[in-house]
Structure 1
Amino acid sequence: MTWHRRLRPLGWLLVCGCLLLTAPSVGVADATATTAATGEIVELYPNPTTEQNHGEYATVTITEPGNWTLTDGEGVADLPDDRTGRFAATRHPNQTATYTNATAVAAGGSFQLAVSGETLTLRRGDSVVDTVSYEDAPESQQWRADREPRWQPTGFEPRAPTTVTDVSVEAFVLPDNPAAPIDAIDDADGRLYLAAYTLTDQRVVDELIAAHNRGVDVAVLVEGGPVGGMTERQATVLDELAAAGVDVRVMTGDAARFRYHHPKYAVADDTAVVLTENWKPSGTGGADSRGWGLTTTSAGVADELAAIFEHDTTWEDTPAWETVREEIETVEAETATGSYPQHHPPVSTTADELRVLAAPDNAESALVERINNTDDQLLVIQPSIGDRDYRLLRAAIRAADRGTEVQILLSGTWYAEEENTALAEQLRERVADDNVPLSVRVAEENNRFGKIHAKGIVADDTAVIGSLNWNDNSAENNREVAIAVTDERVADYYREVFTGDWQASGDGGGFSLLPGGELPAGLVVVAVAVISATALLAKRWLVFAEN
């Protein structure tokens, strides 16, 4: 078995930090169904990542016993006559229990859930009680009647946002305050859970090992195949943690629930820290990227993030590092060594409200709702925005259309410049036509930071900090975590940071697009390197390597 679920890494990709390939459409037509109260088809699993699809099943619920059958038109499963409950019709009863909490029932004949599409019929005697049809079942996803969207990864249970009020918070930014992420975790005495895309910051590693040595329950979850490949430095770090006895998990394998495990957060007892930055020198180390972070002392927030962490580490796609170490190839990469002054010290206050958001569960819809309710000002900072038609960008444009001041700050680093410039030109045309209060700047390196890597918004008196990039892949396929803090002082803090970065980016450090304005002549656009067409065949596509 191979544990990689995307292309083997290309070392030079790590130089670029952020690359975008559009993920091909899965081509899924959602199943359709008609239902009745006494029996219902509730779950389908047509396309597991097993040899010959062993373990596929269709689950029904029955509330009245007697004479039930399920058929795909070719084979039939006779359901128990004397019982009610949940039953999974399958050709492989011994391989089905892993994926469903139903009683397995052996199906006869040629009962088989075709990947390319099927119609299933639930009958009681000669009467049709329920039918479900689907087309093009996506790999390693279940169809569930009680979910929207119906197709979601096997082993994934979506969560609603968690809200807490009147909580202590500290808002900070990077590279200004590299001590803040360490301060958030260094006093743990009960539990310390760290979720990462990449982890190479030695200060963080030392804190994890020290906590383990003093008896703290320490666990780490990282992405097993980041874009460009896992670096030799990260593999060494994970070896060090595992050797010290820390429980290190990696999200990897063909059955992975998420295209990338991409969040950046930690839980230390009843303290939680949520970041836009990776746990590495360029991020939490303060050596390069502009990032946002928030620490909160709140049992409610910490418990919710711990619950997400437990959900994400207790499925077959998160094996222990030691068990897959030899299967994961590594690449060389340089370490950032920049140094930047502190323009913005942290600010501490008691926030009115915090909401814990996660993708693909709820983050995108929550952000759309927040933007739709913004009246005065919307500030957006992103490394890149992949498409003018992206849902959150459309919401921002609608906000500008109704008179809300909207400013968007994007990265001008070489691998994102072409894409961001093209988007800026599209928005310039919109601004020129409608004269709406929308402005865009593309920032280059300056004396405040190396590159834009923060992913956040300030919407009136609410700020959102987290790992969510503004593209469909991040919102729909990745595991992401963000926190929305509603508090005037916190919003003003990030607004001040944004304004300083905006002004620095418009003063020789980038270009500005203002209402009715023109892009400066002679703007040099650095072409993004051509990616091998083979990469398009990978199960997971290259999106924002350093995000």
Structure 2
Amino acid sequence: MVNATNSWLSYPNGNWIELSHRNTDPAVNVTGWNIITGTAQTFSLDAGFSGRDSGSGLLIDSESYVVLSTPPTSGQMLINGDTISLVNASGNIVDSVSWSANFGSNRTAIPTDANLPAQPMMISGWATPAMANPNQMSSSVNESADFRISELMPNPVGSDSNLYPEGEWVEIVNVGNDTASFQGWKIRDGRNTSLALDSQSIPGLNESISSDWELDAGEHLVVWRNGRAMSLQNSGDAVSLIDNQGEVVQTLVYSLTPLNSTLVSGNDIADEWTHSPWPTPGYANPLFDNPYTGATTLEVNEVMPQCTGGNLGIDGDWLEIHNTDSVTINLSRWLVVADSGDAMVLQSLYLQHYAAGVAYDRSDWWNLDAGEYAVLIPENNGFLSNFDEMIDLRDPNGDVRQEVVWSTSENCRSIEGDASAWSEDWLNTMWPTPGDENPEPTPWDPEDPVWFTKVMPGQIYNRDNEFIEITNMGNGVLNLAGWHLNRIKSDGTGNSGTFNGLNLQPGESVTLTQSPTNLSEDGGINAVDMNQFLDYSPWMYDSGSSLQLISPDGVIADTFVYGNGLATVSGWTGPAVSTPPTSTQGLIFMRGDGCNDITDTNTSADWEFRWMRLGASMFCDSGVFSTTGSLEPMASPDGSLYQFTEWLDGSTTELHIHVCELMSNDIVAKLIQLSQANVDITIILEEDPFEEEEDLYKIRGMAYELYAGGITVYWMGNPRGENAPPAPYQYIHSKIAVRDGESVWIGSGNIKESTFPAGDYPSNRDWGLVINSQDVAQLVMSRMLWDENLSHPHLNSYSVMDPTTGKPSGWTSYGPSGLEAVPPTITPPVISGDFTGQVLTCPDDCVSGIINLLDSANTSIELSLQGFDMGWHWGFGDNPMVDAIERALARGVAVRLLINGYYVNYDDDIRDTVNHFNNQWNRTDGYDATAILMAPAERITKLHNKGVIVDGESVLISSINWNSNAILRNREMGIVIHNEQLAGWYLSSFEEDWNRLDIYTDTDGDNMP
């Protein structure tokens, strides 16, 4: 015993070593003898023995057993592998044994042959300190005794020690010719613990009535453990019947204990006891052929290792058996044995018969007709392991007729395999078919396409989490067994892996990776281990390669080429997919928009819509809504602080705010006030905004104020820790909030004085909007809650002690400004009624959302923008929004661009954009396009807006700057509202800014007076 649960306790608990004197020589004196381990740990026999079956002192009698206790204080045997040697006083090795694996907790190991030295070790069925090992025992009986054990239940349903009428029991029978008394008799287990036959073990026995102690000839009696100490070990045991003189009249030995099945005598008294067809407590045992001579062509045909919440009419695990013979097979006493040693006898309690897949009952349940199926449903739902399992199907003689192995399984996905290939892993069926023939995959039809849909060739450093996503785009179930995944290097050489089986339902995708755990931790992607489904797993080059998916009959189903991969391979046309100017670590190539807009032209155009980063979201619900509610517009600086704090004051239960920067003194004070009034507030801020040191200091300080005020604060930024993945977003640049799950605020400006000025101070021109609609609020919250999921590595909880983002050194609270929030000069309308719109989320769907908005224009487009970079540095090809504007101009739509001129002398892109509108599109192409730089006003410092108005009917309010970094790399949000009255209000604001002139602003951006 090298791994006792309580190894520090004294014998009979703790660790110990048993010695035996194996021959008939005189007693051996072991004074000065030692046991020495492979690591030179020494146990002295001079310490004396803690247990023995005979003798005393340091003399070991012939054919006797002694036990040496080995607590950790005296030395340590290695659990996972060691050698121990018995060394006599002269230093000679008398015997040695070795082991190379953990036997398990509280399990003992014994030599395979106890009568020979230096034998390999095997796990014992049960511990037998100071007595013969289980493999040295045999059953025996005193033929002259009146009573014998006739049946025993060592492994009942429920706990073995349950009280009557549950738990373990032993049946005895009077085999004599006359009535006999069992008073004073006992049953003893292999650990010498006895169970007296009395009124506690025999419920209903009246000990004061002598006749109650008697059994007539042939009469049976059930003796119940009834919670007492004597136990029948499930791993095997020796059980003895003791007469009233203390003599052993019968000993039986067993090793296999099927659940809820009894054991009875086999062919010979010395044999191990064997399992009965069914329990018969208190009655004669059923007759059965022993040995079994019937057909042995029964097979396990399908296994369901795990199923929670399935809809097959069977709860939990099950396995299907099939009679492949031409004759009926008697199922009684057939066994299914798990790798753990747990076993089940095929009994009516667990069996369900089927005909053509339909369950039915039959009185002769033990008969399985030729070609029919039955399903074994274990009462213990843990009988079949989900992973790394092996089960045996054994005939009634105990001979193994089939082995089934599997290394992994999926919930409610059954597995199948070749019944004759015992060592091969079983794999998923196409779908579960309990009681019926397993479905066969149909040959692949090229009309049912199978495509690569996402590829991440660049693993996170040391994480082995590069992946390939394959999607069944067809209408039928696809079994990938026999399909090939080819990887071709740029020099034309390649490697190929063959799938051993993987089913994809129509529209279903599978992600293959070397490390599913790391991919899930770093990016939240559920994947399978490609090593389990491919005989070779081709890893990908960061710099580029070619991938091909090939059907079993050699047809190329899809090809993908990226970077410097070989673009001349079959199934591909034109250049490879280009690599964006960014790190390939965690870079995901994506087909189409990753949702619904997916094409297959076998060119790079299929893949050059946009790319994404590992860990980024993928919203595919379109964000479109139709609702009833009210709309409240705002335009800073006029009354913006007043309107926003009024909106905040309406909070009663919860408030969620996601914004790049939050540093308004008055709004921070308001949020703390709301938190103290038991409003649950959650805020996400950008961890490293692009600001000067002084502003960063205030941002960190305000975050501390919010945190100290009881508000949950998160930073969105870089994942922490060694080998952490890159952040999926460059910045969180959103400006959005949801109040009580019913109202949304969205804006173009950060929550600071430049958007929400105190008093009548000047600030930026920004647009904002309050949307009072539960529908819209819940849609927006679905995005915000995704971002608030702490399992994302890029979301970090606020920590006061963080040296970078914690409380700044010397920070003191600003407190509110003390200035009154001034209402708007003209009260904005509250627009009530029905309206429609769309929530846009960058980088998920904002490109397509903005393009669709521009493409919907019939008459006019007004753009009120902080900036408009007409290039597309971070994307593929040309700027798709520039293309959409040009399409609108070609349709005769008038397009006006109002752009921020504050930085025109420092950023040439501003003047280039204005000139493109005015010179290229207007003067050269003849389109109705005009662009001007906005002139400031007394209270308007510069244009910080990101607004769009289309046809005077639709308006976009957002945080989205018009450049590829914002749209493709930032977390941004916008909302389109289709409402003419609302669009008209913003159009008035636009016209005010458009028509404002001064003597300083170069309105048309031409550098001319």
SS in 2 for 1:96: helix
Asked if 1:282 corresponds to 2:692, the answer is no
SS in 2 for 1:374: coil
2:478 aligns with 63
RMSD of aligned Cα (Å): 3.6
1:449 aligns with 940
- Tell me if structure 2 keeps the 8 A contact 1:162–1:301: no
Q: Please identify the structure whose Cα radius of gyration is greater.
A: 2
- Comparing 412-421 with 216-225, which one deviates more in the overlay? 412-421
- 1:414-436 CA deviation, whole Å, 9 max, x = no partner? 36664323332333323233554
- Tell me if structure 2 keeps the 8 A contact 1:172–1:292: yes
Match of 1:310 among 781, 785, 790: 785
| Distance in 1 of aligned mates of 2:683 and 2:844 | 22
- Comparing 291-300 with 198-207, which one deviates more in the overlay? 198-207
| Distance in 1 of aligned mates of 2:1006 and 2:519 | 59
1:363 aligns with 846
Asked if 1:261 corresponds to 2:732, the answer is yes
- Tell me if structure 1 keeps the 8 A contact 2:516–2:526: no
- Tell me by how many angstroms 1:309 deviates: 0.8
Paired letter, 1:92: S
Match of 1:349 among 831, 838, 863: 831
Asked if 1:296 corresponds to 2:771, the answer is yes
2:164 aligns with none
Asked if 1:92 corresponds to 2:515, the answer is yes
2:974 aligns with 482
Match of 1:492 among 974, 984, 987: 984
Match of 1:113 among 540, 543, 548: 540
- Tell me if structure 2 keeps the 8 A contact 1:154–1:257: yes
- Tell me by how many angstroms 1:481 deviates: 1.2
Asked if 1:153 corresponds to 2:613, the answer is yes
- Tell me if structure 1 keeps the 8 A contact 2:487–2:548: yes
Gaps of 5+ in 1: 1-33, 523-547
Call closer, same or farther: CA 1:307–1:242 in 2, change over 3 Å: same
| Higher helix content, 1 or 2 | 1
2:1008 aligns with 521
Gaps of 5+ in 2: 1-444, 472-476, 489-493, 564-578, 599-608, 719-724, 872-877
Asked if 1:467 corresponds to 2:959, the answer is yes
- Counterparts of residues 43-54 of structure 1 (less than 5 Å): 43-51=454-462, 53-54=463-464
- Counterparts of residues 82-481 of structure 1 (less than 5 Å): 88-98=511-521, 99=523, 100-106=525-531, 111-122=538-549, 127=554, 130-136=557-563, 138-144=584-590, 146-147=594-595, 149=609, 151-155=611-615, 156-159=617-620, 160-177=622-639, 178-228=641-691, 231-253=696-718, 254-269=725-740, 270-285=742-757, 287-314=762-789, 315-322=792-799, 325-328=802-805, 342-350=824-832, 352-387=835-870, 390-414=879-903, 418-430=908-920, 431-459=922-950, 460-481=952-973
Paired letter, 2:917: L
| Distance in 2 of aligned mates of 1:435 and 1:238 | 52
| Distance in 1 of aligned mates of 2:549 and 2:858 | 51
- Tell me if structure 2 keeps the 8 A contact 1:91–1:111: no
SS in 2 for 1:511: coil
- Comparing 438-447 with 80-89, which one deviates more in the overlay? 80-89
Call closer, same or farther: CA 1:36–1:255 in 2, change over 3 Å: farther
- Comparing 446-455 with 123-132, which one deviates more in the overlay? 123-132
| Distance in 1 of aligned mates of 2:554 and 2:685 | 51
Report how many residues are paired: 480
- Tell me by how many angstroms 1:467 deviates: 1.0
Call closer, same or farther: CA 1:191–1:509 in 2, change over 3 Å: farther
Paired letter, 1:185: L
| Distance in 1 of aligned mates of 2:706 and 2:883 | 43
- Tell me if structure 2 keeps the 8 A contact 1:259–1:478: yes
- Tell me by how many angstroms 1:393 deviates: 4.0
- Tell me if structure 2 keeps the 8 A contact 1:412–1:443: yes
| Distance in 2 of aligned mates of 1:216 and 1:323 | 22
| Distance in 2 of aligned mates of 1:383 and 1:42 | 36
SS in 2 for 1:457: strand
Call closer, same or farther: CA 1:127–1:304 in 2, change over 3 Å: same
- Tell me if structure 2 keeps the 8 A contact 1:171–1:295: yes
Counting aligned pairs with the same residue, the percent is 20
- 1:112-145 CA deviation, whole Å, 9 max, x = no partner? 2211123334456574664543324633233455
- Comparing 103-112 with 150-159, which one deviates more in the overlay? 103-112
- Tell me if structure 1 keeps the 8 A contact 2:846–2:967: yes
- Tell me if structure 2 keeps the 8 A contact 1:464–1:482: yes
- Comparing 87-96 with 239-248, which one deviates more in the overlay? 87-96
| Distance in 2 of aligned mates of 1:131 and 1:402 | 38
| Distance in 1 of aligned mates of 2:925 and 2:515 | 61
| Distance in 1 of aligned mates of 2:771 and 2:699 | 28
- Tell me if structure 2 keeps the 8 A contact 1:119–1:131: no
Structure-1-length-normalised TM-score: 0.77
SS in 2 for 1:521: coil
- Tell me if structure 1 keeps the 8 A contact 2:530–2:537: no
| Distance in 2 of aligned mates of 1:171 and 1:183 | 13
- Tell me by how many angstroms 1:162 deviates: 2.3
- Tell me if structure 2 keeps the 8 A contact 1:87–1:105: no
Paired letter, 1:407: R
- Tell me if structure 2 keeps the 8 A contact 1:279–1:285: no
Call closer, same or farther: CA 1:104–1:213 in 2, change over 3 Å: farther
Call closer, same or farther: CA 1:77–1:498 in 2, change over 3 Å: same
| Distance in 2 of aligned mates of 1:57 and 1:264 | 33
- Tell me by how many angstroms 1:450 deviates: 0.7
| Distance in 2 of aligned mates of 1:44 and 1:307 | 26
Compare relative contact order (CA 8 Å, sep 6+) and give the higher one, 1 or 2.
1
| Distance in 2 of aligned mates of 1:180 and 1:65 | 59
| Distance in 2 of aligned mates of 1:520 and 1:59 | 53
SS in 2 for 1:468: coil
Paired letter, 1:370: L
- Tell me if structure 1 keeps the 8 A contact 2:755–2:763: yes
- 1:31-60 CA deviation, whole Å, 9 max, x = no partner? xxx978596655433223333x52223344
Structure-2-length-normalised TM-score: 0.44
- Tell me by how many angstroms 1:197 deviates: 1.1
- Comparing 461-470 with 70-79, which one deviates more in the overlay? 70-79
| Distance in 2 of aligned mates of 1:372 and 1:109 | 47
